[in-house]
Chain A
Amino acid sequence: MPVDHPPRGRGRLSGWLRLCVGLGAIWLLAYVVLPWGAGLRLVRPVMDVLAASGAEATHYFYTQSEETAVAQMYVRNTLATSRETAGQRGGSGTAAGSGQSAVPGQRGAPEGSEEG
């Protein structure tokens, strides 16, 4: 990576003032702007669910997220037991993870009215 050049020298007082302004901007964001945004009619319902669930929106990778661990376990077990059940019933029950297409209206087929 290229060598970084430090910023030019500035008056000490001016520098500290600008630092305080920057910190003030962060305070405004945390205590004024974001709470206002969270209270907007369209935003509030999502924020309420987020607050109740305890999910941490700051996690940037799946291994940091507790919910991802639970989710993948549930999905994996669901599909595994569905495959076993389909195998035991000779493929007449729920088809999971295979290329079989389900006829709309039969058990196991997604309802068309729920699709976007």
Chain B
Amino acid sequence: MSEEAQHPEMVADRGKWEWSELYRKEDWWAIWLGFLVLAVGLVIFLPRPPSEMREKLAATEAAMAAEAARAPFQTVEWYQANDTRSGLRARNEPYAGVLARWLDTPGAWTANPLESLYLSESAAAARRSAAEPAYQAAQEETARALAGAREAQEAAAAAAFADAVLNERAESAIREWRLAREAERGTVRTLATVQAYNKIPYLAGLLVLIMLFFSIGAGFIGIDTVGFMRGFWFVFALAVAAWIVGGQANLESWGFGGLIWAILGGMLISNTVGVPEFVRPALQTEYFIKTGLVLLGAEILFSKILAIGQPGIFVTWVVTPIVLVSTYVFGQRVLKMESKTLNITVSADMSVCGVSAAIATAAACRAKKEELTIAVGMSMLFTAVMMIALPTFIVSVGMHPVLGGAWIGGTVDSTGAVVAAGAFLGETGMFVAATIKMIQNVMIGVIAFGVAVYWCSRVDCLPGQKVSKMEIWYRFPKFVLGFIAASIIFSAILSAMGGAGDVMIDQGVLRGFSVLVRDWFFILAFASIGLSSDFREMAHQFKGGKPAILYVCGQTLNLALTLTVAYIMFFKIFPGVTASLMN
């Protein structure tokens, strides 16, 4: 029997390219549709910057520079300039508000799930009035703390900032003001400023828009377009239901959001009452995920890796690949995992950044849906545990907040959990944690590309077969090209625009538009995964608990290595960065 007959799942060398693939293949349609969304975003936002944007940018930067030269610590005026700079956002403009309303997901709720879709004016007024006393108290506290901070700063300035005791008092008063300000802008403000809403008409409109959007390419790639449109409402309804479940206050606080409920809800339906036949043409997991990944590519902005300087690069871009490769090798050689795709998907989601890394890696190596489900499920479970355990440990041993923040950012999987855990360390710890996690997020592009190339050239081939460059090109998942191209293009645009890039691209096109669209595409993909998944297949993949053992062992290495490298970088090699952050 020939080797090809023995391994029918392996692709033999074909190495051919047809130009018709550009309009017949799903990967290419994911690229065209993804870039269409990004282009629409650029056309909407770029011609409409906030008024006097450039003047405000220049003024805030000049103010921060002047204050840094005037005092040896960050003054009240420095912080106010930083806050103004941070608040300059294209997505705060009225036109962006219209987009946000159309793309909004069901909101948070506690006891009544309908509140995620509709809140009457009387109910909103009742909430505002109940929260008003606490909000007023918080505002008064902030004002009092600000007055105290100004007074202490003026005393220090009167001594030309040469008196260490007065300087320390001023810094302490300013920290108190920042804490009061943070408390004022948290949940209490959200409750005191809540407005009435009705999301149902927008959701109905969005259902039609997204259905038509994906129908554009459906016929070309061989999807039954009419069947797709007939069944799409069911998938969309499950996605909305998943958002609603994930918005329940207790579930949300533990990090169990819409994505996991889309999968679990779909699996519950498919493994109990079964999925109606008319829905099946709409279960286009890969079509949704690949289009979403092209949009995610635009969020991989390479300039972000310098956000916290060289220490950040070592903690993320050096430690993460070491942990990823070590965990994968451990999974193959020690645990002897049957599925390489499951191994790399779990290794990536544990070492890089959870769900988003799992999605990108699974698509790059063509993992099974059940494998992605296992990776995402485990990531969310362990993240919930680490979100509590890690900051509790850090505070209990009195660890430095910069070190603790870097440790959390480099090891806890999801950004939201990182922010939540980092908040327990204080403002600086949270800022460091969130920044480290952001830099790690940017790694996804390189990881996905590397996995795709490795899989095409080394894994998906017959033993001893040498794969030609043309064959690698043929097998390469083309949507990854769109993913990388979007990253390169948007990174270049952001760099070219300077400060305006943060306002118009990061806080405009991306956070104000394409991120919201991408969220919908991913949850539709996860709903499709759930509706086409089989519990038995998943149970088989989880046999022996090897994925969990892989995750735990890999995360143990991750925790040890990240802490070690973070300590060396932030305290031995670049202590000035730490000092600046704490100043």
Contact = CB atoms under 8 A, between A and B. Distances in A.
Contacts of A80: 64
- For chain B, give the interface size range: 35 or more
Contacts of A34: 250-251, 253-254
Given A26-B261, A68-B438, A98-B576, 9 more contacts: A37-B254, A46-B424, A49-B420, A57-B257, A58-B414, A60-B415, A68-B419, A79-B581, A97-B576
Contacts of A45: 392, 424
A42, A47, A55 pick with most chain B CB within 10 angstroms:
A55
A62 B577 contact: no
Contacts of A100: 576
A94 to B, nearest CB: 6
Contacts of B448: none
Interface of A: 1-2, 4-7, 9-10, 12, 15-16, 18-19, 22-23, 26, 29-31, 34-35, 37-38, 42-43, 45-47, 49-65, 67-82, 84-86, 88, 93-102, 107-111, 113-116
B65 A96 contact: no
Nearest to B275: A6
Given A22-B272, A57-B420, A101 B580 contact: no
Nearest to B67: A81
Interface of B is mostly: helix
B533 to A, nearest CB: 7
A57 B414 contact: yes
A84 B580 CA distance: 12
Contact of A101 (B67, B272, B387, B572): B572
A85 B572 contact: no
A18 B258 CA distance: 22
A64 B438 CA distance: 11
Which of A77, A80, A107 counts the most chain B CB atoms within 10 A?
A77
B115 interface: no
Given A6-B274, A19-B269, A110-B402, A64 B253 contact: no
B424 A49 contact: yes
Interface of B: 64-65, 67-69, 72, 74, 78, 82, 85-86, 182-183, 185-190, 245-246, 248, 250-259, 261, 264, 268-275, 285-286, 296, 299, 304, 307-310, 353-356, 366, 368-369, 387-388, 391-392, 394, 397-404, 413-417, 419-421, 423-424, 430-435, 437-438, 441, 502, 506-507, 510-511, 515, 519, 532-536, 563, 567, 570-583
12 contacts: A4-B532, A22-B268, A43-B388, A49-B423, A58-B255, A78-B74, A78-B580, A79-B581, A81-B65, A82-B580, A86-B576, A94-B580
B388 A72 contact: no
A29 B298 CA distance: 36
Contacts of A15: 272-274
B73 to A, nearest CB: 10
Contacts of A54: 185-187, 189-190
A14 B74 CA distance: 66
B134 to A, nearest CB: 11
A61 B296 contact: yes
B352 to A, nearest CB: 11
Given A77-B82, A115-B403, A115-B567, A97 B272 contact: no
B250 A31 contact: yes
B502 A73 contact: yes
Nearest to A103: B575
A64 B431 contact: no
A96 B387 contact: no
A7 B534 CA distance: 7
Please name the 5 residue pairs, one residue from A and one from B, whose CB atoms are nearest each other, closest first.
A58-B257, A95-B576, A116-B399, A59-B416, A81-B68
A19 to B, nearest CB: 4
Contacts of B573: 99, 101
B418 to A, nearest CB: 8
Given A1-B285, A69-B506, A73-B86, A64 B415 contact: yes
B187 A52 contact: yes
A18 B438 contact: no
A63 B532 contact: no
B268 A19 contact: yes
A74 B68 contact: no
B442 to A, nearest CB: 8
Contacts of B183: 52
A56 B274 contact: no
Given A23-B268, A63-B510, A109-B579, A1 B255 contact: no
A6 to B, nearest CB: 7
Contacts of B435: 68, 71-72, 75
A60 B354 contact: yes
A59 B65 CA distance: 33
A46 B82 contact: no
B392 A55 contact: no
